[in-house]
């Protein structure tokens, strides 16, 4: 049964409060209306578009927290962060991130998202990638959203912090990487710039 405009807008407001990073496309599908209807509903209720909601969360929650690099140098938008534990970022694959002939995302963008998240999660003024082990598990195409999740795994024998990053589109893993991070407070000053697959 189709909902009235008032009912739909109330549900829409509640849904966005629960899931602030939900897209207009997902909302349109859920309520069986056009994307334009969702946009009009949001405008009437003064709910900002997704990019503005992400920016608001990033600016208000993580700006003072990320130590190893400026927030605007993180590739993707950080939506969750607990220093020295875990972090999550999202990256929308737009036309400028893909190969023009096949609309497949360039791999270095997925790497950059994961690597900058591995740096951001470190609670240190200086965090650099000493080594990484990467695996791309499926192609990502224009229009998809990549959610990267970083978890600190501990230290290696050289006292470097190991950060595991898994990236997903919906619930499908598209990238996985182990990042061995050098920090300024590490006991051993061994730092290289090794990338292995």
Q: Read out DSSP for 123-164?
A: -SS-EEEEEEEEEE-S--BTT-EEEEEEEEEEE-TTSPEEEE
For residues 133 and 180, give the distance between their C-alpha atoms in angstroms, rounded to a whole number.
9
- Residue 54, domain member (yes or no): no
18 pLDDT more than 50: yes
State whether residue 64 is helix, strand or coil.
Answer: coil
- How do 161-169 and 145-155 pair as beta strands? antiparallel
If asked whether residues 112 and 191 sit together in one domain, one would say yes
Distance from CA of residue 14 to its chain's centroid?
23
- Residue-wise pLDDT tens digits, 116-152: 999 989 888 888 899 999 999 999 999 999 999 999 9
Residue 167: give the domain boundaries.
Answer: 67-196
Confidence category of residue 48, pLDDT binned at 50, 70, 90: confident
The pLDDT of residue 185 is: 62
Residue range 5-11: average pLDDT?
Answer: 89
- Residue 55, domain member (yes or no): no
Write the CATH number for 86. 3.10.129.10
Question: Which CA distances in Å does 10 have to 24, 87, 123, 196?
Answer: 15, 31, 40, 50
If asked whether residues 28 and 75 sit together in one domain, one would say no
Count of the separate structural domains present in the chain: 2
If asked whether residues 72 and 39 sit together in one domain, one would say no
- Residue 53, domain member (yes or no): no
143: left (phi over 0), alpha (psi -120 to 50) or beta: left
If asked whether residues 42 and 73 sit together in one domain, one would say no
If asked whether residues 9 and 94 sit together in one domain, one would say no
Confidence category of residue 74, pLDDT binned at 50, 70, 90: confident
Share of the chain above pLDDT 90, in %: 43
Contact call for residues 172 and 138 (beta carbons, < 8 A): yes
If asked whether residues 83 and 29 sit together in one domain, one would say no
- Residue 162, domain member (yes or no): yes
If asked whether residues 109 and 176 sit together in one domain, one would say yes
If asked whether residues 43 and 72 sit together in one domain, one would say no
Residue range 26-44: average pLDDT?
Answer: 90
If asked whether residues 42 and 74 sit together in one domain, one would say no
For residues 157 and 7, give the distance between their C-alpha atoms in angstroms, rounded to a whole number.
58
Contact call for residues 32 and 26 (beta carbons, < 8 A): no
Confidence category of residue 168, pLDDT binned at 50, 70, 90: very high
DSSP assigned state of 22: -
If asked whether residues 121 and 85 sit together in one domain, one would say yes
If asked whether residues 140 and 110 sit together in one domain, one would say yes
- Is the pTM higher than 0.75? The answer reads no
Confidence category of residue 197, pLDDT binned at 50, 70, 90: very low
Residues whose CB is less than 8 angstroms from the CB of residue 67 and which lie 6 or more positions away in sequence, other chains included: 83, 122, 123, 124, 125, 127
- Residue 60, domain member (yes or no): no
- Residue 154, domain member (yes or no): yes
Write the CATH number for 31. 1.10.10.10
If asked whether residues 29 and 113 sit together in one domain, one would say no
- Residue 132, domain member (yes or no): yes
- Residue 58, domain member (yes or no): no
């Amino acid at each position: 049964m189709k909902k009235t405009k008032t009912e739909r807008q109330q549900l829409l407001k509640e849904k966005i409060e629960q899931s602030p990073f939900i897209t207009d496309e997902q909302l349109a599908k859920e309520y069986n209306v056009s994307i334009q209807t969702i946009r009009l509903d949001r405008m009437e209720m003064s709910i900002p578009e997704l990019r503005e909601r992400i920016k608001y969360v990033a600016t208000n929650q993580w700006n003072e927290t990320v130590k190893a690099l400026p927030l605007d140098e993180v590739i993707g938008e950080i939506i969750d962060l607990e220093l020295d534990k875990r972090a999550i970022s999202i990256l929308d694959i737009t036309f400028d991130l893909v190969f023009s002939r096949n609309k497949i995302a360039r791999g270095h963008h997925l790497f950059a998202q994961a690597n900058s998240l591995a740096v951001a999660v470190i609670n240190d003024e200086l965090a650099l990638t000493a080594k990484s082990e990467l695996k791309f598990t499926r192609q990502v195409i224009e229009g998809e959203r990549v959610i990267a999740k970083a978890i600190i795994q501990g230290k290696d024998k050289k006292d470097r912090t190991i950060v595991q990053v898994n990236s997903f589109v919906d619930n499908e893993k598209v990238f996985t990487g182990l990042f061995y991070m050098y920090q300024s407070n590490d006991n051993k000053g061994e730092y290289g710039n090794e990338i292995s697959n």
